[in-house]
Structure 1
């Protein structure tokens, strides 16, 4: 169904109509999103900037009010009898009462002489020495360290402590405890009637853990309906990069209107904001990560009475409610436009259905004919227009096409019958030709082998006759010599050695004669001792292997006897041993072993393995080594392995090879305990031998 809609005329017409509308709606949504984002961001940053200005003004107002209170106290004390009489003990009691009543964290009355003595131990006002002694009123923020706090009040040293907490997005720091205190501090001079400086009032209000300060600003700036539902307004005062007072929640837990919550006092400013505000001493107006959430934030550096940067003032509100409102507005706009698109699509689709229904009937008939229903026709259309004429012409064309198809079908059937007859005849001739070619290949391979064996047989017979005669003479003379010397003579061991070696010569000659006459023993099936046959075969190739300095490593295990022809088994082993020797360019080892073997049908047998340490073979060479006339040696004829595998398979066995370049090769000959003669190889061998006149 989706594919039909995609390729139908009605679907394309609907797409052509709706595509411009869709592009217009997409552009409208994009522009709306851009304008909304730009306008909202500008408004949000303007609001947070004004919130920061209110927080700054509140902090400044706090300083002004504190100065006013100290000015009033100075005027009151200026006329006090204790000040006139210089009753210091009574004055200190009055100052202490005023400190508690006016809610100062510390308030003290200092003489100019005390200021001169204490300035060195009070680094927070040491740089203001000249201004203080000149009788100027001073107000502002002051940063007081732990040692100086002990001189002001022993309890303040504990009260200012803020544990520093690990904070996401903050720069790495080893600091775990903030022991300094940030104060709103005021220094107010007190003069006598003559205008001479008599005392200085030094008062301060601690901002560390001062929740009233930040909550007052929050309530003033972020009162009811100032933020959308779920919005959270916050104010923070940083000492360096540590929050010493704040109403930022430590976790996502504060609900609107909730008064008690865990505050994030001791958390640190983010690294990005720290670089901008503290390092570069610039104002930050942007979104920022605050403890555990993103806030629309405003940060500005704050300075002490000494004009030293001591911290940061922050105001901001949570970003998530505005993002929610922004996404909701876009969703509402998208849903509205989507509904309009659906209604427009419905009307276009319904109208196109009536307009294009004749074309649909024509298309349905065409597709039916295409699927093989040659009798499908469009029929008569109700409308009298171009579509009706097109339908009549199409039906006429289909009738004519059916007639021609019948003619072609009949001709094709007759042609197929003739092709089948010719194809069958050709297949029979091809099979006969393949059989003749296979027989010719086998005959050629066997003929070449028999020619070489015939020549070898004649040469071997002559050599054997010439060697056997001297060997018989040697044996006769040795028997005569032993008879003359008697049993147990001094050279008895030498005589036995000579006789043993002569018999060994005769055994080698006999084996060589048997190897050179395979045609005479083609039908002679014997029960063979495999280990003995393998050992006798080594005598045939002993000289050739010694000549190249090759040693044979033998590993004979107890195996069963097998049925076969001794000379043909020796022929196979001689071929494999000589090939192994030729595969090694210099001295080396050949491993010759026998192992029990079990055929796939469960029959017992013997595996004879010949492994060399030559150069090995590639996969391409391994695939062709048993092909007749394929060889990799310059003086090779390519028949040895082919004949050897034919001889092994003749008795139901096989020859397999395992090799890799640079790792040598291993040929394994498999022989059955009970031979299973291959009748095709038997008949081929008989035909070949009959060509040599061997019955």
Structure 2
């Protein structure tokens, strides 16, 4: 559970990403490389075994042809044909012995034209044997085709015993249970598989008999050892022969140099049922790894057919898998070490790159922390040329904007503070002055009107009194304005639809605008929020702003009053949502040097006698007490725009 919080940092994510990519690439490389390595070794070994099987087959077939060739050469000799006379049977037997010794035959004989043996290498030529023993099938085939034949043949125990009891005993093999192989009911093999040949004996064109002979494969070591010595060159690995060869009768090993654990040849053991099914059952070759007796070999099998085209056995060659496995393991170990070195280098590179990439980000983090503590000029370091550099430049621009805004806000705050201080001082002064002169002023005005009511005054005195009354009335209005400015009357807020308030207020000054010839326009946006204000005080602010606009606008000009909704934090001012009332005119405008003074008490640009300079000051105070703000934008000769922002009404949640 503690690991998850650590992964929340960008640095940890980068490190984990580099590690993940490195290990993923390394793992994929190991798996793919190991698989390719395995396939390469297996492909190479399998190709070698296939070639070795081809060589073994050629040796097997060559041994068979040598048998036929030896018999054919023998039949050509005139002395051999003359020895076929019954009285010369001993000489014929001796000749058969010499042929057998020269050709390496295990049995040989002469059969009559019915295929029954007349003379055997063993010397047995008892007449009753010809009746008791079955005909030689190879001799019968030679007589039938009238030519020499050779090939693989399976002979029964009875035939072998008639031919030579020694052959029958040699052919007997005790079957050994082999776990991966199928099991049969027999426990002893009695039939013999032979490589044999038969050649017709001719005299003056007529066939007078058949010369036959062959090699018993049961327990034979000649072919299998020749294959091992020739093909595998007696190679050994850790004291064991690398290459092996076997001749099978059906699925039983009858000639092999595969050894049992006790060092004896594995005669009588069976091939695996999977191999037997493919080679003997489906007549297909096998080239794959297989378990042979007690170890794994890379093997190749192919079926052996007899002279009649029947599948009677298999020819096998194989090499120990262990040497290839060890070489593959060593190569895989080297590959693994190289991959791990690559992963280590990748991790180190990732660590270095993480430091390089994260350094600008750490500086940005420290800079952000410094900004939060009030330092608006933190050290960002050198600007990176990567995407992080864009972030640094953006952050730098943001700081510049913040510094500029803060400077502007300080100036505005200072200006507002100065204005508030001036208004407060003037307010206290105004309150005192108004209090001191209000009562005497009321007496002067009352006595002036009483004197004007007399009928005995001459015209000159009446005009003088009238001027006194008007001047006193003007002073009275100034005193009333001073009182309004100094009292800071409390507001009586209520939920108000601002559009209706604006439209109803402008009806009060429509006639004045019409008389002066100034066009008065009203624009209100849809869906305006409600505001909580004192309608009377806001109305007086609007009237004051519009009248000021009328005074500043020549006939033919235009005054536009617009109302719109303002979203929260508009224009970066940090304000909430509200409404904005803008009063724009096309009048003479306000000079830049006067912009900061217009909200000061008693400041006015109007002619003497036409303004007190308190209207905007009073309006400023009313808007401020509502939590709003009043601002002005003006350009000399093009007009002015006064904007009043008021906060929107917030409904309290139930």
Question: What TM-score, normalized by structure 2, do the two folds share?
Answer: 0.50
Q: Highest Rg: 1 or 2?
A: 2
